[in-house]
């Protein structure tokens, strides 16, 4: 009997002479950074209250992008890339052609050798498959780390809380990359100063500030030191994050969800009759969006031993296959959530470590 538990290490119970014993092997994977290029609507359906169509949220009320949405976005991007590289259509009635057999022609592109099947190798079979098979990766939820929030004194600040920072540290532990130590040091510095936070006091990387406004509320501020290199990875995510090291405000866990809620975008829309230009019956609703510039952390974790499925070749290194399929990219774009046709859901994704090997 084998039991796989996803903690910082993969724990494998193996039978030995009738007795279970424990072996430990490190997990490895890729950190995925997300930067919302446009407002995101990873919807969770209708909800009671003033907002009809809310975004996905965790139990504390923070917006989140669940792993199923992340996985779907990457699977669709994989199929699009394969179609582009191999000049073939990977979609059939809105789903990927997992059953399509590989090409017998020699090809330098692994994606072309396996055709559309490679996407099902990486991310699992389609719902219509007669036998459901898991993909090679365990995809993690996208955890928001920094929210852009309006500020009377600064224009905008990037808000986070000890709770969000601890969740980010948990992801770094699972991904288990030594290249992320500089980012880890900053996050650990935030956690070590958690006891300084009160209902009217925040920590900030903004220099020479003893008072700061978050939204329209004034807080006393205490500076925290930061090394320039510690946030360089995040500052490359997008334009709003370019000056991240001078924009961070850390707020208490009690206040954090309240001010994140104030930073959410809510749009009331109507549906018109095209002939009379009047509102259709039932055509009035309010949608919620995660703001542009929000920074997320997620990851792809490779179990040890590597999972196998019928869509993959016999010997496969999941991270290498992912990189080859996506054109060996370190950075790509995808659409997460709904409202794509009105310019919502565009997210920039950065894979780390970046390069030919993990």
DSSP 96-149: E-TTPPPP-S--S-HHHHHTTHHHHHHH---TTSSS----S-EEPPBEEEEEEE
150 with 245, same domain: the answer is: yes
Is residue 286 pLDDT above 80, yes or no? yes
Confidence of residue 7 (pLDDT cuts 50, 70, 90): very low
Q: What is the per-residue pLDDT for 20?
A: 44
What CA dihedral angle connects 113, 114, 115 and 121, to 10 degrees? Answer: -150
Does the pLDDT of residue 343 top 80, yes or no? yes
Q: What is the domain range of residue 103?
A: 68-139+309-352
For 303, phi and psi rounded to 5 degrees?
-65, 155
Residues 6+ apart with CB under 8 A from 84: none
Assess whether pLDDT exceeds 90 at residue 297: yes
- 186 lies in some domain: yes
For residue 301, being part of any structural domain is answered with no
Averaged pLDDT of the chain:
81
Domain assignment present for residue 313? The answer is yes
If asked whether residues 57 and 173 sit together in one domain, one would say: yes
pLDDT at 357 over 60: no
Q: How many CB atoms lie within 10 A of CB 91?
A: 13
Model confidence over 240-273: pLDDT tens digits? 999 999 999 999 999 999 999 999 999 988 888 8
Minimal CA–CA distance to 352: which of 108, 35, 72, 65?
35
Domain identity same for 62 and 120:
no
Mark 240-259 as b/e (b = at least 16 C-beta within 10 Å): bbeebbebbbbbbeebbbeb
Q: 148 with 156: CB under 8 angstroms?
A: yes
At residue 181 the predicted structure's pLDDT band, cuts being 50, 70 and 90, is: confident
Percent of the chain residues topping a pLDDT of 90: 37
Whether the predicted pLDDT of 235 surpasses 70 = yes
The yes-or-no verdict on residue 4 having pLDDT over 90 is: no
In a domain, 10, yes or no: no
Same domain, 186 and 127: no
Q: Say if residue 239 is in the same domain as residue 173.
A: yes
174 and 250 share a domain? Answer: yes
Number of domains present in the structure of the chain: 2
Residues 60 and 160 in one domain: yes
Number of residues assigned to the chain:
358
23 in any annotated domain: no
Q: What is the mean pLDDT of residues 22-33?
A: 67
Residues 107 and 159 both lie in one domain:
no
Verify that 35 and 128 share a domain, yes or no: no
Q: Residues 50, 170: one domain?
A: yes
């Amino acid at each position: 009997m084998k039991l796989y538990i996803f903690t910082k290490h993969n724990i494998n119970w193996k039978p030995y002479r009738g007795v279970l014993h424990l072996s430990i092997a490190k997990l490895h994977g890729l950190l995925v950074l997300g930067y919302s290029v446009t407002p995101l609507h990873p919807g969770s359906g209708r909800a009671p209250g003033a907002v009809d169509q809310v975004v996905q949220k965790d139990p504390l009320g923070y917006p989140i992008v669940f792993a199923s949405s992340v996985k779907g976005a990457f699977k669709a991007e994989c199929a699009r890339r394969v179609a582009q590289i191999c000049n073939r259509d990977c979609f059939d009635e809105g789903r990927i052609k997992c059953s399509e057999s590989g090409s017998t022609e020699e090809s330098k592109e692994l994606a072309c050798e396996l055709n559309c099947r490679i996407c099902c190798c990486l991310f699992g079979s389609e719902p219509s498959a007669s036998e459901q098979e898991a993909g090679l990766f365990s995809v993690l939820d996208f955890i928001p780390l920094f929210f852009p929030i309006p500020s009377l004194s600064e224009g905008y600040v990037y808000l986070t809380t000890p709770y969000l920072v601890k969740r980010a540290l948990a992801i770094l532990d699972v991904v288990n990359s030594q290249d992320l130590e500089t980012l880890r040091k900053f996050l650990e510095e935030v956690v070590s100063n958690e006891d300084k936070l009160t209902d009217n006091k925040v920590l900030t990387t903004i220099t020479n500030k003893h008072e700061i406004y978050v939204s329209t509320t004034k807080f006393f501020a205490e500076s925290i030191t930061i090394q320039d290199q510690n946030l360089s990875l995040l500052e490359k995510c997008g334009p709003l994050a370019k000056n991240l090291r001078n924009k961070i405000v850390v707020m208490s866990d009690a206040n954090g969800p309240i001010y994140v809620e104030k930073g959410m975008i809510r749009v009331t829309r109507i549906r018109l009759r095209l002939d009379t230009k009047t509102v259709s019956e039932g055509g009035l609703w309010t949608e919620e969006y995660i703001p542009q510039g929000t920074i997320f952390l997620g990851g792809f974790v490779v179990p040890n031993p590597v999972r196998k499925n019928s869509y993959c070749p016999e010997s496969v290194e999941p991270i290498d296959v992912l990189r080859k399929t996506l054109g060996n990219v370190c950075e790509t774009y995808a659409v997460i959530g709904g409202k794509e046709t009105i310019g919502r859901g565009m997210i920039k994704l950065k894979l780390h470590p970046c390069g030919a090997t993990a």
